[in-house]
Amino acid sequence: MKTKLHFLLLVLPYIVLAQLKSPSEFLGYELGTQFTRHHQVVDYYEYLAQSEPQRMKLMEYGKTNERRSLLLATISSKSNMENLEQIRAEHLKGMNGEGTSNKAIVWLSYNVHGNESVSTEASMQTIYDLLTIKSDYLEDIVVLIDPCINPDGRDRYVNWYNQYKNTPHQVDPNSKEHHEGWWSGRSNHYMFDLNRDWAWLTQVESQQRLVQFNKWLPHVHVDFHEQGVDNPYYFAPAAEPFHEVVTDFQREFQRTIGKNHAKYFDENGWFYFTKEVFDLLYPSYGDTYPTYNGGVGMTYEQGGSGQAGLGIITAIGDTLTLKDRILHHHTTGLSTIEVASKNITKLNDEFKNFYAEKDYTYKSYILNGNPDKLEALTKLLDQHEIMYNAGEDATIKGYSYNTAKTGSLKSSKNSIVIPSNQPKSTLVKVLFEPIAKLSDSVTYDITAWSLPYAYGLDALASENTVKGTRITQDTNDYRSITPNSYAYLTDWNSMKDARFLAELLRKNIRVRFTHKPFTLDGIAYERGTLIITKSDNKNIKDFNGILKNAAISHKKEITATNTGFVESGKDFGSSYVDVIQNLNIAVLSGKPTSTLRFGEIWNFFEQQLNYPVAILDEEYFHKVDLSRYDVLILPDGRGYNSFLNKHIKEKIKDWVKDGGKLIAMAGAIDKLSSDKEFTIKEKETKKDTTINLESFEVSEREQIKSAITGAIFKASVDNTNPLAYGYSDTYFTLKLGDRSYNYLENGSAVYLSEGANEPVSGFAGSDAKNKIAETLIYGTQQLGKGQVIYMIDNPLFRGFWENGKLFFANALFMVH
């Protein structure tokens, strides 16, 4: 009751003071008594922008997958808004130690997790107050508000809730309106967690937002979240571990802001906690990414999320309402701006200090490798506005990523050199350094992500500044399509190649590939080389035109040849040259699987490979005629015990034996491995049976011994296995746990060899290291006429491990 009164007291005076309509007046219901659908949020922001043209600008910076608007509101005083471009330019000059900016930039991001549904509601009250009773804060501050980073997820939740809620709403936690189910609103359309995507930019929301973010590089950034219903509010300062690049000022200012919030929370008797759970290490969050770009980035967490609805009884018997939740996020939002308004000079000075030249150990990162992979990396660098150059002919010494010790690398004009001395030097260090320094604390996210490993590049970190030259544009016109050639050849070693193949298959071009290396016209071709013959495609109208257009749009070099008679190896008519089938592919969705792991596969097909996939939900899977499909994918998940009952397992096995191809990932393998027809078997590890007599506190720390939350290991590759075509004999894998399976007879494509259980980057506990020693990572098994492909590690994790994706393409197209 107390909080309700407080809320009304906050709202009522504005109605009298200002002509501008409050959210409640505009929406026609009191804010907090309904969830506001996204189009209504858009309407309110548009209404504000139209009513306050001198103090507010609203832009649509993009669209989501489901075509909802992504909005950014800019508000400040009238005179600031008149000089907005100048303010922005002056602020950015701070990156070069110049400029005389005397304004602070504060960016508030709401609802990155769609079902953490209070945030967008709170944003409306916050912007309204900033334009009315709190407008004095805007004298020296430009506030940027993204009312909803993830509109697709939010509307998924809100629409679901509106359909299932009781009238009036039911506070009993057992009622349906508090149980959202598997297809929750947390993630975006493709079930990606957008709060893990700031650095990798795999999703359209992140890509479009970052363009705007880089235009402003705010002094302060807040990412509004929700956590479990029973948790008190969480705000800064963050928990350890902090990445070592976080500056003293950034730490100190988190404290300053936290103390100001605490003042308001103490006054109202609200519970809160700080310095726990939410750390500052993994670079792809809404708090760390802005921090590594010179701002003070923070996560605020209200209790509630998709479970809380309009009101719910908590564990201690209180009722938590949406109004309470709005009030708390509204309070911290305004308190953040209040603190910024009192520290304008400090924020500007420290922004300059952050961007002043840093004396990081590594002065240059030099990268060699497959041009497609280098191209994929430079695309990411461009999005982050990280500068890079072409290399010069030289031999460079430094830390070799490949051997994890001092070594050398030959650079050439094809190398990429990334200087550490550039405005984005801190971001460069965080994303590229071989090993991120870990303080003695537990993080719940991955502890390694170094991009040279993720992109499969040969790299060296040098303590000296390595010279480079500006990169000239690629002018190749890929015109090597000579009509009426006998065949065309092209290499197979990157996702770009897989996309090219997928396009040809979609256009019904028949493509072959070789299982054996061969030499033709003096050129050596590796396993997996694509062979596109004239005679295979004699019935395709405009075969040459289709091939040429595909080559141009994918920037693929293709080589024409007038004979299929090879100089060494197997001729094109040999049984070692296979036809790649146009495939009907299905992926399982629903409760057996994890939403995130399922989403990565869905996104891979539609946004990366551009190849169709059917989604078969577990609810009706038993009725589906599998003979329509060539490939079935079982994503990782924890629900396979009940799903893979005898009947379903037999159904899948029969289909494989008839020639189907099953791709089983992580959690799905755990269940299949108990069946003797699947040859994959769990590695037996001697269990430590000694009873632990440590104190409770110590024993909690002991658990870390069995932890791998995400570390990089150097694996061995049998690249004569079709699952590994296009790879060299080593591969750096991101391990996310200690799942351990024995090698497969004749089918171990990627595995940890003896002694390879020490991570090259990231943390692995001692027990976990023992457990994963000499275990399988990716492998294949023949079953009847079909194939089973096992994926213990996840090559599609968060969509950012670029070098793993070809394994998935190989599983689809090369394993026969």
Q: Which is nearer to Zn ion, 113 or 243 (CB)?
A: 113
CB of 439 to Zn ion, least distance (A): 24
CB of 225 to Zn ion, least distance (A): 3
Q: Which is nearer to Zn ion, 113 or 328 (CB)?
A: 113
Among 91, 225, 554, 771, binds Zn ion (CB under 5 A): 225
CB of 154 to Zn ion, least distance (A): 12
Q: Which of residues 56-115 bind Zn ion (CB under 5 A)?
A: 113
Q: Which is nearer to Zn ion, 113 or 714 (CB)?
A: 113
CB of 117 to Zn ion, least distance (A): 11
CA–CA gap between residue 68 and residue 62 (Å, rounded): 8
CB of 112 to Zn ion, least distance (A): 6
Q: Burial of 311 by CB count in 10 Å (0-12 exposed, 13-18 middle, 19+ buried)? A: buried
Q: Which is nearer to Zn ion, 116 or 670 (CB)?
A: 116
Structure tokens at 521: 């016209």
Task: Please report, as a single letter, which amino acid is at residue 753.
Answer: S
Contact 222, 422 (CB under 8 A): no
CB of 119 to Zn ion, least distance (A): 9
Q: Which residues pair with 312 in a beta bridge?
A: 320
CA–CA gap between residue 242 and residue 237 (Å, rounded): 11
Task: Please report, as a single letter, which amino acid is at residue 691.
Answer: I
Ordered DSSP codes for 189-201:
TT---GGG-TTT-
Task: Please report, as a single letter, which amino acid is at residue 751.
Answer: Y
Stretch that binds Zn ion, among 119-127, 218-226, 726-734, 762-770 (CB under 5 A): 218-226
CA–CA gap between residue 245 and residue 655 (Å, rounded): 53
Tokens 């009304």 identify what position?
A: 8
CB of 673 to Zn ion, least distance (A): 34
**Which of 237, 419, 228, 402 lies closest to 308, judged by CA?**
228
CA–CA gap between residue 590 and residue 510 (Å, rounded): 34
CA–CA gap between residue 589 and residue 619 (Å, rounded): 9
Structure tokens at 378: 């430079």
CB of 732 to Zn ion, least distance (A): 30
CA–CA gap between residue 750 and residue 81 (Å, rounded): 57
Residues 6+ away with beta carbon under 8 Å from 1 = none
CA distances from 272 to 182, 227, 313, 319, 443 (A): 30, 12, 18, 17, 21
Q: Which is nearer to Zn ion, 184 or 748 (CB)?
A: 184
Q: Which is nearer to Zn ion, 114 or 456 (CB)?
A: 114
Q: Which is nearer to Zn ion, 36 or 150 (CB)?
A: 150
CB of 226 to Zn ion, least distance (A): 6
- Which DSSP state fits 317? S
Q: Which is nearer to Zn ion, 68 or 154 (CB)?
A: 154
CB of 574 to Zn ion, least distance (A): 55
Stretch that binds Zn ion, among 224-232, 247-255, 563-571, 751-759 (CB under 5 A): 224-232
Q: Which is nearer to Zn ion, 13 or 228 (CB)?
A: 228
Structure tokens at 575: 């049984």
Q: How many residues bind Zn ion (CB under 5 A)?
A: 3
Contact 386, 447 (CB under 8 A): no
CB of 357 to Zn ion, least distance (A): 36
CA–CA gap between residue 295 and residue 94 (Å, rounded): 12
- Which DSSP state fits 177? G
CB of 188 to Zn ion, least distance (A): 13
Q: Which is nearer to Zn ion, 113 or 165 (CB)?
A: 113
Told to check if 329 binds Zn ion by CB under 5 A, we report: no
CB of 260 to Zn ion, least distance (A): 22
Structure tokens at 465: 């500044």
Contact 157, 185 (CB under 8 A): yes
Q: Which of residues 704-743 bind Zn ion (CB under 5 A)?
A: none
Contact 151, 204 (CB under 8 A): no
- Which DSSP state fits 641? H
CA distances from 188 to 194, 243, 527 (A): 7, 28, 38
CB of 109 to Zn ion, least distance (A): 11
Q: Which is nearer to Zn ion, 113 or 805 (CB)?
A: 113
Q: Which is nearer to Zn ion, 103 or 186 (CB)?
A: 186
Residues 6+ away with beta carbon under 8 Å from 698 = none
CB of 209 to Zn ion, least distance (A): 16
CA–CA gap between residue 147 and residue 797 (Å, rounded): 28
Q: Which is nearer to Zn ion, 222 or 724 (CB)?
A: 222
CB of 8 to Zn ion, least distance (A): 28
Q: Which is nearer to Zn ion, 261 or 771 (CB)?
A: 261
Q: Which helix (H) or strand (E) holds 264?
A: helix 248-268
CB of 223 to Zn ion, least distance (A): 8
Contact 149, 290 (CB under 8 A): no
Q: Which of residues 552-581 bind Zn ion (CB under 5 A)?
A: none
Structure tokens at 393: 């002919």
Structure tokens at 450: 């170094």
3-state secondary structure of 458: strand
Task: Please report, as a single letter, which amino acid is at residue 116.
Answer: E
Q: Which is nearer to Zn ion, 258 or 286 (CB)?
A: 286
Stretch that binds Zn ion, among 42-50, 116-124, 258-266, 798-806 (CB under 5 A): 116-124
Q: Which helix (H) or strand (E) holds 266?
A: helix 248-268
Query: Which position's Cβ is nearest Zn ion?
Result: 225
CA–CA gap between residue 75 and residue 472 (Å, rounded): 40
Q: Which is nearer to Zn ion, 197 or 458 (CB)?
A: 197
CA torsion 490-491-496-502 (nearest 10°) is 60
Q: Which is nearer to Zn ion, 143 or 194 (CB)?
A: 194
CB of 304 to Zn ion, least distance (A): 10
**Which of 414, 544, 428, 516 lies closest to 469, judged by CA?**
414
Contact 192, 600 (CB under 8 A): yes
CB count, 10 Å around CB of 522?
A: 6
Q: Which is nearer to Zn ion, 184 or 608 (CB)?
A: 184
3-state secondary structure of 141: strand
Binding region for Zn ion (CB under 5 A): 113, 116, 225
